[in-house]
Amino acid sequence: MLFDKHDAAYVEKLVADSSSAGDDLAEVQGIVESRKKNSKFPDIRYLQPDDLRFGTHKDVAAWRAKRLACDTIIEAGAGVGMQTIAFAKTCKKVIAIEKDHRKMAYCRENCKAAGVTNVELIEGDAMQVVGSLPKVDIVFLDPERPAQEEARNLGQNFSPPLHDFIKAYGEISQSLAIELPPHTKTIDIDGEREYLSVDGELRRLTLYRGPLAKSKTSAVVLPEAKSISGEPSPVPEPGEFQRFLLEVDESVVTAGLVATLIAGKAHVVSTTKGVLCTSDRPIDSPFYRNKFQIVGICPAQIEPIQELLKKAKAKQVILRASIEPAKYWEERRKYEKGLTGTEPVHLFLLGDKAVVANKLKR
C-alpha cells in the first residue's frame, strides 16, 4: 500500500510525476484522477475513484457535524475522512474507526492535510474494538453495503449488521446516528428519519436514535441548510391548476412531508413524475426545487401544444414526461419542429393534459 512505504511528501512527488511511480502507478493515477474530479469535498487530498463516488458531500458532512456537535463522538466506518474532518471542526474529540487499511491510511493523511489534530484513529472492525472504547456523547455509523440492490434490506448485506451494532454501541451512548441508503423502503429501526438533498437531488438518509431524534421524519435541503419536520402523511389528492407550478424537492416527498410543506399555501396538481404543486402566486421556499409560471394548459395533443409553445416564444423545449431515455430526443424534436422563438420553455405532459411553462430563477 502506498502510505506504508512513502510519506505524504513523497506521494505528492509521485503525483507530480506519475511516470516515476513504479509499482504504485495505479494508486497514484487513481489519486490524480480523483483530485481532478473532486468537487464533493475539496479538502480531501487522498482518495480513489470509488471513494469519490460513494463519499460524503461536503455540505452533507457539514450539516451532520453541526447537528452532532458534542465533546466526544465515535465515527464507525470513517472511510477516507470526509465526515471525520467535518466532525473534527464541531466536536472536541473524534474517535474514527475504519477496518480497511488503505482507507485508514488515506484518512490519516487527509486529517493532516486539513490541519485537524483532535482525531484518534483506530484501524479495526467496529464490532471487534467496541469493548475497548470509552463511553461517549454520540456514535455515528456509516456502514458498508452493496452499491446497488433490487431492494434494501436492513437485516442483510450491511457491515456491521445494524441491529448488532445498535445493541453493542448502545452500551457506549444512547445517542446513535446511522447513515442508510435514502431509497430504503422498509426500516424496522425506531428513530427520526432525516432525508437530505443536495441541489435538488436526494443524497442521504440519516437515522437518529435516542435523544438525537426530534421528530418522526425531517427533510433537509442543501446548500441552503434549511429543514422541515413533522409527521409523515400521504400526498394530498390533486386539484386544479393555478398560475404557478412548483416542483417539490425529493427529500420532502420521500419524508412524507408534502402536506406539511404546502399547508394552505399551495395544492398538489400531479404525482405523475415527482410531486408538482400549484399556487396563485410565486412561493419563495427552498423546498421547491424548481418554480414555473404557467403559459397555458391544453390537451396533450401536438397541435394545441405547438400553439402554446409559439405563444411562449419557444425555441427549445425541455420535455418533462414519462418517456424512455432512448426516445427523449425524438419526442422533443417533434414538439420543437417549426418553432422560431428565442426562449427555452418547459413542457409537462401530465396524463391527458399538457402544461407549457417558463422556469423562474431560483
Per-residue pLDDT of 173-206, as tens digits, reads 999 999 999 988 888 999 999 999 999 999 999 9
The per-residue pLDDT for 157 is: 77
The per-residue pLDDT for 74 is: 98
The residue out of 189, 211, 236 marking a domain boundary is 189
The per-residue pLDDT for 23 is: 55
Instruction: Give residue-wise pLDDT tens across range 284-313.
Output: 999 999 999 999 999 999 999 999 999 999
Q: 75 with 160, same domain? A: yes
The residue out of 189, 222, 257 marking a domain boundary is 189
The per-residue pLDDT for 81 is: 96
Number of domains in the chain: 3
Q: 70 with 29, same domain? A: no
Q: Is residue 205 part of a domain?
A: no
Domain region containing 174:
39-189
Q: 147 with 23, same domain? A: no
Q: 15 with 54, same domain? A: no
Q: 166 with 261, same domain? A: no
Q: Which residue has the cell 426516445?
A: 327
As averages over each run of 10 residues, the pLDDT of the chain (362 residues) reads: 56 58 71 86 88 92 97 97 97 97 93 95 97 97 77 70 95 97 88 96 96 97 96 94 96 96 94 92 93 96 94 94 91 93 95 94 78
Residues 248, 157: Cα–Cα separation, whole Å: 32
Q: Is residue 215 part of a domain?
A: no
Q: 13 with 82, same domain? A: no
Q: 54 with 160, same domain? A: yes
The per-residue pLDDT for 2 is: 56
pTM of the model: 0.88
- CATH code where residue 184 lies: 3.40.50.150
CA angle 328, 334, 339 (to 5 degrees): 120
The residue out of 159, 189, 219 marking a domain boundary is 189
Q: 29 with 108, same domain? A: no
Pair 82, 46: CB distance under 8 Å: no
270: Cβ contacts below 8 Å, ≥ 6 apart: 238, 276, 348, 350, 351
Q: 155 with 285, same domain? A: no
The per-residue pLDDT for 7 is: 57
